[in-house]
Amino acid sequence: MQSELRTQTKLEKIRQRMKQENIHAFMILSSDFHESEYVGDYFKCREYISGFTGSAGNLVILEDKAGLWTDGRYFLQAEKELEGSGIILFRKGEDDVPELEEYLEQNLLEHMSVGVDGRTISVNAYRKLKKALEKKKITIRLECDLAGDVWNDRPKMSCMPAWELDICYAGNTRAEKIDQIRTKLVEEGAECTVISSLDDIAWALNVRGNDIACTPLVLSYLVVSKQHTVWFVQKQAVSWQLAERLKEDGIIIRNYEDIYSYLKEMDTEVLYLDPNRTNMLLYECTQKKVQAGMRKVLEGKNITLLMKAVKNKIEIENMKKAHEKDAAACIKFMYWLKTQVRKNIEKDAANISSLSKDLHIMDDDDCEGKERKLLTEITAAEKLEEFRKEQEHYLGPSFHTIVGYARHGAIVHYSATPKTDLAFQAENLVLIDSGGHYMEGTTDITRTIALGALTQEQKHAYTLVLKGNLNLAAAKFKYGACGISLDCLARKALWQEGMDYKHGTGHGVGYLLSVHEPPNCFRSVLSESGEESVKLEPGMVTSNEPGIYIEGKFGIRLENLILCKELEKNSYGRFLGFETLTLVPFEREAILAEELETWERDWLNNYHKEIVAKIGSMLNEKELAWLKEITAAI
């Protein structure tokens, strides 16, 4: 109740500022100044005002109502977090749900105004909004940071130390990468490019940082021209040693905020930028010379996009090593979890008998006395992190670990809190989605684990999801195929029974960068970005993660990372396929073997055999014995 009142108070403060500025609708977007998926605390204005903590969601505040738009990953979470706030939840993609721009056009009168912080809206998002509102001559004002105005204790912008990624991990020097960018600029007919996306900048300069939780990036901008490479960064984040090495490679360092004046003043005649990854205030800085006929702006995907997505040989070999380490940590955890559940049931019988047979949500009083005795979603996540920390060169999680027990598994991007933390019992399923950053690369894995006897419904659902994972993993396809061409392989078994999941089947994964890296992906429908239509190239790493979510009961997701590789070339053309990088067994107790085709059983048995061969030496005697038992041929 208190959080609901706080949200309503914050909305009223925004409305007071709107009235002062003569703004009739105010938008608070989830992005930072770089169109990042995940953002630092300084940029979490939407979360601060609305109380919704998901990574994707845009808030619109009108004089008498407010709405929040988010996607299928967050429907259940948003419904709970927005309850009582007065904010209406709009489920993107659902029937009869208006798009944000359509909603504004319907609810505003002619000549009214919409405010938004122009540093947080991309060029293309602005154009879409403008097109929807221009028929009513509605003005869009970009100079507004009303959320920042009312956020009195707003955290400072992060300025963590930047560090250099050695060539033994990066595979190519930054000088080689800058040369690649310049070659591509010539091909595009441009003289200069401005790059705002943090992962592209980190890749190009072989630098990493810690300005965003779970994503080792540095807040900065990069401008690459035929003559100069200029890095706009908070100078206190760059040590003098790193600055000297950058200088030796021809990298000029300027203050983070200087990017705006630099774009206004530079003499470049033909500038290239990505309208999906460049914010509107940056774009406006390029336009004065455009309007004067002194500059031309070319638009397209970031110059670095495909260069970064296609991993080089050293990156690929390193990522395989990272996945072996990660597999050892995950298998150790799974063994511990299965053992601990049995121990806790006996050890804490008195405590657990006080719980109802139905699932129990511990309140604060419960947690205080039983937090260390009962195995819960939070304590399980902490233990998994302990096992990862034991691995050499482990740097930290690649995203916040998702542990959803029983009905919480049906919340796609669930995040446990002390108020919602479920205690495990020797029954049902727990969905665990986690990943790590290692010097050798980034991992992302989801396993759904049985904690006790399962129902036929649960086993059947698990087997359908497993069939989807195997069918995509085993795909062989002609070069030129893209994510939307192959997504149906992962959904086929579910679709045949009239079932589906409301998220993409897979996303690209960066090398010690963002765990969600465009453009490669698997999706069943076309999106505005068009990334699902990008050709799959050898060297791309993509997740393979079908799922099924039964609200109020359980959720199942099975995720491996797969490497696209060349299989053969013949008179019919080039054929590609995938190599599975993740080396963690599936839940044998949840598989209905009779529902698998012969080739599926063979694939699964060979996969489990490979896991024992590659990971067995990294386990202790008991863990290895258990691994051999659960990977026995089906």
pLDDT tens-digit readout, 147-193: 999 999 999 999 999 999 999 999 999 999 999 999 999 999 999 99
pLDDT for 356: 41
Which pLDDT tens digit goes with each residue over 105-145? Answer: 999 999 999 999 999 999 999 999 999 999 999 999 999 99
pLDDT for 530 equals 80
In angstroms, the CA 621 to CA 634 distance is 23
314 in Cβ contact with 306 (< 8 Å): no
Q: Coil, strand or helix: which one is 242?
A: helix
Name the H helices within 22-122: 45-50, 75-81, 100-107
The amino acid that residue 166 corresponds to is D
Question: Does 372 have pLDDT greater than 70?
Answer: no
**3-class secondary structure, 570:** strand
% of the chain exceeding 70 in pLDDT: 94
533 versus 472: the higher-pLDDT residue is: 472
Helices (H) and strands (E) in the chain, counts: 21, 28
Listed residue (402, 401, 409, 400) closest to 359, CA to CA: 409
Of 559, 560, 562, nearest to 541 (Cα)?
562
Give the pLDDT confidence score for residue 7 in this predicted structure. 80
Is residue 556 helix, strand or coil?
strand
By percentage, how much of the chain surpasses pLDDT 90? 87
Give strand pairing partners of 212.
215
What is the chain's percent helix, strand, coil content, to nearest 5?
40, 20, 35
Distance CA 242, CA 146 (A): 37
Residues 6+ apart with CB under 8 A from 87: 7, 11, 50, 52, 59, 66, 67, 68
Please report where in the chains the tokens 């049931």 appear, as a residue: 345
- pLDDT at residue 398 in the model: 97
Residues in a beta bridge with 69: 58, 90
3-state SS, one letter per residue, for 90-120: EECCCCCCCCHHHHHHHHCCCCCEEECECCC
When pLDDT is cut at 50, 70 and 90, the band that residue 348 belongs to is: low
Encode pLDDT of 404-435 as tens digits: 999 999 999 898 999 999 999 999 999 999 99
**pLDDT on residue 6:** 80
Looking at residue 547, what is its pLDDT?
Answer: 98
Helix, strand or coil for residue 97? Answer: coil
Phi-psi region of 247 (alpha: psi -120 to 50; beta: other; left: phi over 0): alpha
The pLDDT assigned to 413 comes to: 85
CB 166 within 8 A of CB 217: no
Pairing assessment for the beta strands 270-273 and 296-299 based on DSSP bridges: parallel
Per-residue pLDDT at 8: 83
Q: Kindly tell me if the per-residue pLDDT of 360 is higher than 50.
A: no
